[in-house]
Amino acid sequence: MAGLLAKICGLSTPETMRAAIAAGADMVGLVFHPRSPRYVTPEAARMLAELARGRATITTLLVDPDDALLDTVLRATEPDLLQLHGGETPERVAAIKRLTGRPVMKALGIAAAADLARIAHYRDVADRLLLDAKPPKDAAYPGGHGKPFDWSVLDAVDPTLPFMLSGGLTPANVAEAIRRVRQGGARLEGVDVSSGVESAPGIKDEAAIRAFIAAVRDIERL
């Protein structure tokens, strides 16, 4: 299977956005959750989005956004894709798609096989699914917090279902993750990284970005 998408999320500076684009990122993510160390203001996001426009899929990460925030983000970034990372119900996902006219990627936290049951509720309403590591119970914001989950859990995913993988991925383990998930027969369409290419929380490392994307491209050639 070729053509894996590589997404770099949580970009917050022009330098790291340019590095991600130059390295060949297919998708870039801007975080609009104030509790995240990767949060960007609408004004900063506008500038970052313009650097990526036409060169990568501009994705905005939102957590249970209300309609006012959706309007602000759309005006600031004109995103290609909305990534919903909160407790949005399938009904809310459908409403956001109608309201914004944008495709939606719904993130679902996975820790055990039982968590896969939620997929059925979203697969027909979301345009993409992102299977991410469940955050710790006391976490201030969603996401894997640098911790991968047991990828063998995904052996039980419907092999016709395309999805992206996130949670604890790094330049050192992304090839292993891709191999393991493919081995189980799952239809992996891309990988998403944030903290795994950082030197400190919220501080992206340009060399790590390049290494991550290179690792994805290398395994595509196998």
Question: CA angle at residue 181 from 139 to 137, to 5 degrees?
Answer: 10
Residues 6+ away with beta carbon under 8 Å from 17:
11, 28, 48, 51, 52
CA-CA distance, 32 to 220, in Å (whole number)? 31
Q: Which of 132, 155, 192, 218 is catalytic?
A: 132
CA atoms within 13 A on the CB side of 127: 14
Q: How far is CA 219 from CA 131, 175, 186, 216, in A?
A: 20, 6, 16, 5
Instruction: Give the torsion sign (CA, 79, 74, 196, 198).
Output: positive
Chain centroid to CA 136: 18
Q: How far is CA 186 from CA 97, 98, 128, 148, 152, in A?
A: 26, 30, 15, 17, 10
Q: Which of 9, 80, 124, 138 is catalytic?
A: 9
Residues 6+ away with beta carbon under 8 Å from 104:
81, 82, 83, 84, 93, 96, 97, 126, 127, 128
Residue 132 annotated as catalytic: yes
Residue 115 annotated as catalytic: no
Nearest partner of 109 among 117, 101, 99, 97, judged by Cα: 117
Q: Annotated catalytic sites, by residue? A: 9, 132
